[in-house]
Structure 1
Amino acid sequence: MNSSEFIPENIWKASFPLRCFWYLVTPEETCFEKPEDVPDVISQVIPVFVTFIFIEAVICQFKGRFRFNDALVSLANSNLLRVFEFIGERHLPFIVYTYFYANFRFYTFSWDSLTAWWLAFLMNDHGYYWEHRFLHETMVGWAAHQVHHSSQDFNLTTGIRQSLFQKFFSAPFYIPMALIGIPPQLFMIHLGVSLVYQFWIHTELIDGLGPIYNFLFNVPKHHQVHHGTNKFCIDKNYAGVLIIWDKIYGTFEEKDDHKDEQIAYGLLHGSESFSFFYIQLRYYQFIFDEVLSQSTFGAKLRKIYVFLTKGPGFTEDKPDLRLGDINDYPEGYPNYKIYNPSLSIRQSLYTLTQMTAAAYLMSFFLERQSVYSTYDDHEKFSNACCFPVIIFLVRKTQTENYHVFYSCTQR
Structure 2
Amino acid sequence: MEIPEIPNLIHYAIPFFLITVIVEVILTVKVRMDNYEFKDAGTSIVMGFGNVFLGLISKSLVLTVFLFFYEFRIFTIPFIWWSWILVFFAEDFCYYWFHRTSHEKRLFWASHIVHHSSQKYNLSTALRQTWSGSFYSFIFWIPLIILGFHPIMVLVQISISLLYQYWIHTELIQKLPKWFEAVFNTPSHHRVHHATNPQYLDRNHAGILIIWDRLFSTFEPEVEKPVYGLVKNINTYNPIKVAFNEWIQLFKDVISSKTSFPNKLKYFLKPPGWKHDGTGILSRDLRKDWEKK
Give TM-score, length-normalised by structure 1: 0.66
Choose from 227, 236, 245 the match for 1:282.
Answer: 245
Choose from 240, 257, 272 the match for 2:235.
Answer: 272
Aligned-residue sequence identity (percent) comes to 34
Q: Does 1:43 align with 2:11?
A: yes
Counterpart for residue 303 of structure 1 = 264
For residues 99-125 of structure 1, the C-alpha deviation after alignment (integer angstroms, 9 at most, x for no partner) is 1112x111112222x332111111111
Q: Does 1:140 align with 2:140?
A: no
Choose from 80, 87, 90 the match for 2:50.
Answer: 80
Choose from 201, 208, 221 the match for 1:234.
Answer: 201
Pairing 1:82-231 to 2, within 5 Å after superposition:
82-86=52-56, 88-102=57-71, 104-112=72-80, 114-231=81-198
Letter of the structure 2 residue corresponding to residue 71 of structure 1: A
Which structure has the larger Rg?
1
Tell me the CA shift for residue 327 of structure 1.
5.5
Q: CA RMSD in A?
A: 2.3
Distance change (3 Å), C-alpha of 1:324 and 1:217: closer
- Does the 8 Å contact 1:137/1:323 carry over to 2? no
Gaps of 5+ in 2: none
CA distance in 1, matches of 2:213, 2:23: 31
- Does the 8 Å contact 1:97/1:175 carry over to 2? yes
Distance change (3 Å), C-alpha of 1:84 and 1:329: farther
- Does the 8 Å contact 2:108/2:137 carry over to 1? no
CA distance in 2, matches of 1:227, 1:275: 20
Letter of the structure 2 residue corresponding to residue 275 of structure 1: N
CA distance in 1, matches of 2:287, 2:150: 46
Give TM-score, length-normalised by structure 2: 0.91
Secondary structure in structure 1 of the residue aligned to 2:129: coil
- Does the 8 Å contact 1:310/1:323 carry over to 2? no
Tell me the CA shift for residue 197 of structure 1.
0.4
Secondary structure in structure 2 of the residue aligned to 1:109: coil
Letter of the structure 2 residue corresponding to residue 288 of structure 1: F
Q: Number of residue pairs matched?
A: 288
Counterpart for residue 273 of structure 2 = 313
Distance change (3 Å), C-alpha of 1:329 and 1:269: farther
- Does the 8 Å contact 1:314/1:324 carry over to 2? no
Tell me the CA shift for residue 315 of structure 1.
4.0
Letter of the structure 2 residue corresponding to residue 92 of structure 1: L
Tell me the CA shift for residue 323 of structure 1.
6.0
Distance change (3 Å), C-alpha of 1:106 and 1:188: same
